[in-house]
Chain A
Amino acid sequence: MGFLAPWFLVGLAALGVPVFVHLLKRHVTTPRPVSSLMFFERGTQSSTRHRRLKYLLLFALRSALVLLAVLAFANPFVRRAANDAGGRLLLIVLDNSFSMRAGSRFADAKKQALATLAAKPHGEKAQIMVLGGQFEILSQPTADDTKLRAALESIQPGDGHADFGEMGRAMRTLADTVRVPNDLHLFSDMQRTAMPANFADVVLPANATLTLHPVGQVPAPPNWTIESVEAPSQLSDPKDLKRSRVRAVVAGFGTPAATKSVSLVVNGKTIATRKVNVPAGGRATVEFAPLDLGYGFNRCAVRVEGSDAFPADDARVFTVRRSDPERVLFVHAASDTRSSTYFGAALEAGTQNAFVMQSMPQEETSDIDPSRFAFVVLSDTAALPSIFEHTLAQYVAKGGSVLIALGAGAAHHTPIPLWGAEVRDAHNYARTGNAASMGQVDFGYPALEQAQPERDNGGWAEVKVFYAALVDPEHARVVARLADGTPLLFDKQLGEGHVVLFASGLENLTNDLPLHPVFVAFVDHAARYLSGDERLSGSKLVDSFVQLRSTTEPVGTVANVEVIDPRGQRPLSLSEARMAQTIRLAHAGFYQIRLANGRDTLIGVNPDSRESNLEPLPKDLQQLWSGSASGGGTQTAGTISNEANYRPLSLWWYVMLLALVTAFAEIAVAGRYMGTQREAL
């Protein structure tokens, strides 16, 4: 017995009110005049006692009412044994991350989880959750052992990366809705790499008691893995040694120094093997060049030979698409000859002949089919032939991309082809003598992408712009601005395709960008972004997402997407195939995807390399974690404190009900008494 809000007991002082009214304060009645008391006598003792009895009843009722009201606010509770139904909630979290595939870890963890579930008191509710990749809740809180067991049995080892921080966040969110005490049992290999950098992320809510069930060998067995692979996603010239090569990093975790054989496997055939000396617990790089690949998509893998404790991470997959150089259509004004020269040179230098540029004046584009080109560049084009502009709009709607450079004549032909807006004005910085410099550059944008831009604004700081058109961004994304805030580079999605607008020219008259090295990188990245090659091949990590269709496209107006996962199954249902915007790559292996714009892609998906490090959390850290969750005490498997065996049962409702009954009784008694007084007067 206790009180959840004991400070309300101060209200017991209010008991003095009925005491004062009934015992201390004299009862006042209005005297009744009579002519003479000659024939009257004082009332007898029995009658007086009867009246006082009535007073005492009223006093008792009023005192009880005050007492019950105070008790209701203080919210009394009694402790009840927690093994009754609904008392505590058992949460079983099973780690199915990629590292659990090592040895018998997953089987052991599952076996322990089933045993814990079997030992659960009958009637106690439980919930099954999965940690690995995404934190998933497989069942609602239920006491049905059959359902719980089925949910637990259905868990299979996955390829995701466990993150204890995500589990902590999920538990804290759960605590907002589930108030009952939780017994959280985590069955995991307790990888050190699953622990976030900030320990506060894994702290569980106050009502949760954490019990850890570590599985796997301690210390962790030695494990070699291919930590990373660097390979081109697209290859047009296998003899180009700059691009036609694969560089892989072999890493050892808890391993002695050893010489390992590393093989490159293409479409199931080992085409090259290298020997590499890997230092103890260190890394070594191995390179395969040149790549001799067939046309089309090639399923490639780098594999480290030899057995270890975790064979599943010995290979790393990726795809390379071999194709002829793609054509780029460069449309320019008849008077503009410089831009094609600069752009073509940059394209050739940047993309290592992956693209071949075809330049033509705008007047000759009437019979051109844009779909035969990887992307189209419109440089300072005043008025396109209407038939070409129409086909170009269809080309973009179906997934094609166009780069528009406005050039020096922008102010004279205000409607911008395809863009759907006009040039509002133009800044001629050359007239003022002060050329504009670059201000903000979004290095996260694919065409401007730089992993670690230098302090000179990634090379853009030295670029001077003499002339720039002024265009309203409206719905477009502005990815670069001049120092005075004028938007310089826009990206707008039209249908499945993109239109990138450069508010200046591609020659050296309106700016000096073509004279700077950053121009080559810009053209290279822009070409790959506009051609869509980046999305069509290469490798990704498990649990990353692939965009299947444009987010702005109305649902149902384009063809279905098709996804075939590494197991040969279609993870999307028919309705999802029509509506899904993205797909999560949940499994390691090769995903074959046909996008909504009709283009096919093959993506190699690998587990997070952190999963290869099987080293568990130190014991003291485990104890610290489980201790912080149980309010200071250390929890080990199979022990639950006495405090946890009980839960408070609030008596608020009962007290309020009693107070209500007392209030009605008081009204009835007081009403009778006061009513009699009124009549007597």
Chain B
Amino acid sequence: MQRFLDPAVLAGISSLDLLAKTVVDGFVAGLHRSPDFGFSQEFAEYRAYTPGDDLRHVDWNLFARTERCYLKRYRGETNSQLTVLLDASNSMRYTSGPPIKMDYARFIAAALFYLAIRNQRDAAGLIVFDDEVREYIRPSTRPGQLARLFAGLEQAMPHARTDFAKPLKHFQSSLHRRGIAIVISDFYEDPETIVQNIAPLRFHGNEVILFHILDPQEIRPVLKGSAILVDLETDQKIEVVPEYAKTRYRAKIDAHVEQLRTRTRAAGMDYQLLVTDQPLDLALREYLTLRQAGN
């Protein structure tokens, strides 16, 4: 099934629905776990009683046997709420080979929506943004939500520049329930600014994951000769020599990724670098792990 998770193969599938189903079914089959994992009431742990605890949760059978008062804890029955913030700026159009970064981000979002709604019964919503909020689909579990989300993804065309401040402010204002927020972007911004804009999401108890989408050529660029490079967002042009791309650029991008990882984790967020030639299961696994840990 790994073959179906290869981004190059997925790029040939036009339907996001089919794509998400292919990815998620293949991913779930590989887990060797029940697809209902974490859904029904399930014992989680015992905890010593402290004054003020609800007596309904005391395990009286245990008290009868041991004369000690313990509270029996279960996994929550309430569904989680998934919100994907998708960066649709011009820089997401870049590619050195199929798929383009934007498509790769769409695949991840579609697979997450499918996994959340169909498998986990979670509410899922979408915010597409660049320097403005282009699309907002409120998280919901209503029938047809998945189709709306897929339609929102289909319509998300990259343009303009990235600005994290405005869309995140909009997200905070519309957030009423705690849940999981996943930001999918290439994060061409100062890590400090990124964390500064995203960190407030954590204040409402949200779990925040940053999926950093990069093309292999953006990590290890190869230039055979001097070339004129054009910034997709600003149209600025500069002449670059191969020696620079081979040495200093790599050091800079590595430092950027490392700084982003360090700062986001320091701010209590998860960070995952996703290269467009990697399978999508890495992103799905990250989501499920976080959901399990948070609930």
Q: Range of interface residues on chain B?
A: 35 or more
Cβ contact within 8 Å between A32 and B238: no
Q: Is A679 at the interface (CB under 8 A from chain B)? A: yes
In the complex the two chains form, is A34's CB within 8 Å of B239's CB? no
**Which of these binds chain A: B12-20, B45-53, B244-252?**
B244-252
B227 touches A38 (CB 8 A): no
What A residues does B151 contact at CB under 8 A? Answer: none
Residue B94 is within 8 A (CB to CB) of chain A in the complex: yes
User: By the criterion CB–CB under 8 Å, are A36 and B239 in contact?
Assistant: no
Q: Are A41 and B186 in contact (CB under 8 A)?
A: no
Interface bits A41-81 vs B (CB < 8 Å: 1, else 0): 11110011001000000000000000000000000000000
Q: A679 with B231: in contact, given A33-B94, A35-B218, A42-B238 (CB under 8 Å)?
A: no
B223 adjacent to A680 (CB under 8 Å): yes
Q: Are B233 and A36 in contact (CB under 8 A)?
A: yes
B101, B225, B231, B253 — most chain A CB neighbours (10 Å) = B225
**In residues 180-229 of chain B, which contact A (Cβ within 8 Å)?**
186, 188, 215, 218, 221, 223-229
Q: Are A42 and B239 in touch, CB under 8 angstroms?
A: yes
Once A40-B238, A47-B241, A47-B243 are accepted as A-B contacts, the answer to whether A34 and B94 lie under 8 Å apart by CB is yes
Asked, given contacts A31-B237, A47-B241, whether A38 binds B188 with beta carbons under 8 Å apart, the answer is yes
CB distance from B211 to the nearest CB of A (A): 15
CA distance A43 to B241 in the complex (A): 5
Q: Does any Cβ of B come within 8 Å of A20's Cβ?
A: no
Question: Contact flags (1/0) for B49-86 with A, using CB distance below 8 Å?
Answer: 00000000000000000000000000000000000000
- Asked if B34 is at the interface of the complex by the 8 Å CB criterion, the answer is no
Residue of A nearest to B162 (CB): A36
Q: Measured between alpha carbons, how far is A255 from B43 in the docked complex, in Å?
A: 164
Q: Are A32 and B229 in contact (CB under 8 A)?
A: yes
B218 cross-chain contacts in A, Cβ below 8 A? 34-35
Interface check B240, CB cutoff 8 A? yes
CA distance A677 to B253 in the complex (A): 26
Q: Does B290 contact A (CB under 8 A)?
A: no
A29–B227 CB distance below 8 A? yes
User: Which residue on B lies nearest to A39, using beta carbons?
Assistant: B252
- Give chain A nearest CB distance to B277 CB in angstroms: 16
The answer to whether residues A680 and B230 also contact, given A33-B94, A42-B238, A42-B239 and a CB cut-off of 8 A, is: no
CB within 8 Å for A36 and B231 given contacts A51-B226, A676-B225, A679-B225: yes
Are B225 and A34 closer than 8 Å at their CB atoms? no
- Pick from B225, B232, B238, B245: contact of A33, CB under 8 Å: B232
Given A42-B240, A43-B239, A43-B240 in contact, is the A35-B225 Cβ separation under 8 Å?
no
A482 to B225, CA, bound (A): 99
- Chain A positions within 8 Å of B239 at CB level: 42-43, 48
Interface residues of chain B: helix, strand, loop or mixed (majority): mixed
Docked complex Cα distance between A37 and B234 (Å)? 9
Contact check, A35 vs B186: say whether CB atoms are below 8 A apart: yes
Q: Which residues of A are found within 8 Å of B264, using beta-carbon distances?
A: none
B236 within 8 A of A: yes
In the bound complex, CA of A304 to CA of B12 (Å): 126
Contact A33 B244 (CB under 8 A): no
Q: A51-B226, A676-B224 are in contact. Are A39 and B240 (CB under 8 A)?
A: no
A35→B91 contact, CB < 8 A = yes
Q: Is B256 an interface residue (CB 8 A)?
A: yes
Q: Assess the A40–B229 pair: CB atoms within 8 A.
A: yes
B244 adjacent to A41 (CB under 8 Å)? yes
Say whether chain A's binding surface is mostly helix, strand, loop, or mixed: loop
Residues of B within 8 A of A679 (CB): 224-225
| A634 → chain B closest CB, angstroms | 73
Give the contacting residue for A34; candidates B226, B229, B252; CB below 8 A. B229
- Assign chain A's interface to a size class: 20 to 34
Q: How many whole Å from B222's CB to the nearest CB in chain A?
A: 10
Is A40's CB under 8 angstroms from B249's CB?
yes
Query: Which B residues lie within 8 Å of A29 (CB)?
Result: 227-228
Contact partners of A33 in chain B: CB under 8 A: 93-94, 229-230, 232
A35 and B240: CB pair below 8 A? no
Given contacts A31-B237, A680-B223, contact A40 B244 (CB under 8 A): yes
Q: Are A36 and B91 in contact, with the CB atoms below 8 A? A: yes
Q: Please measure, in the bound complex, the distance between the C-alpha atom of A38 and the C-alpha atom of B94, giving whole angstroms.
A: 14
Interfacial chain B residues near A44, Cβ < 8 Å? 241, 243-244
Q: Residue-by-residue, is A381-407 near B (CB-CB < 8 Å gives 1, otherwise 0)?
A: 000000000000000000000000000
Partner of B227, one of A41, A48, A680: A680
- Closest chain A residue, CB of each to CB of B230: A31
Which residues of chain B have C-beta atoms less than 8 A from A36's C-beta? 91, 186, 188, 231-233
Chain B positions within 8 Å of A51 at CB level: 226
Q: Are B226 and A35 within 8 A (Cβ)?
A: no
In the assembled complex, which residues on chain A have CB atoms less than 8 Å from the CB atom of B226?
43, 47-48, 51, 680
Contact partners of B248 in chain A: CB under 8 A = 41
Question: A31 touching B225 by the CB < 8 A rule?
Answer: no
Do A35 and B224 touch (CB < 8 A)? no
Tell me whether A35 and B232 are in contact in the complex, defined as CB-CB below 8 angstroms, given that A40-B249, A676-B224 are known contacts. Answer: yes
User: Which single residue of chain A is at the shortest CB-CB distance from B255?
Assistant: A39
- Choose among B225, B234, B244 the residue that contacts A680 (Cβ–Cβ < 8 A): B225
Task: Give the contacting residue for A39; candidates B92, B227, B256; CB below 8 A.
Answer: B256
Which residues of B sit under 8 angstroms from A43, Cβ to Cβ? Answer: 226, 239-241, 244
Of listed A36, A37, A47, residue having the most chain B CB within 10 A: A36
Contacts A40-B249, A676-B224; A31 near B229 (Cβ below 8 A): yes
Chain B residues with Cβ below 8 Å from A47 are 226, 241, 243
A210–chain B nearest beta-carbon distance, Å: 70
A679 to B227, CA, bound (A): 11
Known: A33-B232, A34-B94; 16 extra A-B contacts, CB below 8 A, are A33-B93, A33-B94, A34-B231, A34-B232, A35-B94, A35-B186, A35-B188, A35-B231, A37-B229, A37-B231, A37-B234, A40-B238, A40-B244, A41-B240, A679-B225, A680-B224
Residue pairs across A and B with Cβ atoms less than 8 A apart, 15 shown, are A29-B227, A29-B228, A32-B227, A33-B93, A35-B186, A36-B231, A37-B231, A37-B236, A38-B188, A43-B240, A43-B244, A48-B226, A677-B225, A680-B223, A680-B227
Binding site for A on B (CB under 8 A): 91-94, 101, 186, 188, 215, 218, 221, 223-234, 236-241, 243-245, 248-249, 252-253, 256
Q: Report the 9 A-B pairs with minimum CB-CB distance, sorted nearest first.
A: A43-B241, A35-B91, A36-B188, A39-B252, A35-B94, A47-B241, A680-B225, A679-B224, A31-B230
A residues at B contact (CB < 8 Å): 29, 31-44, 47-48, 51, 676-677, 679-680
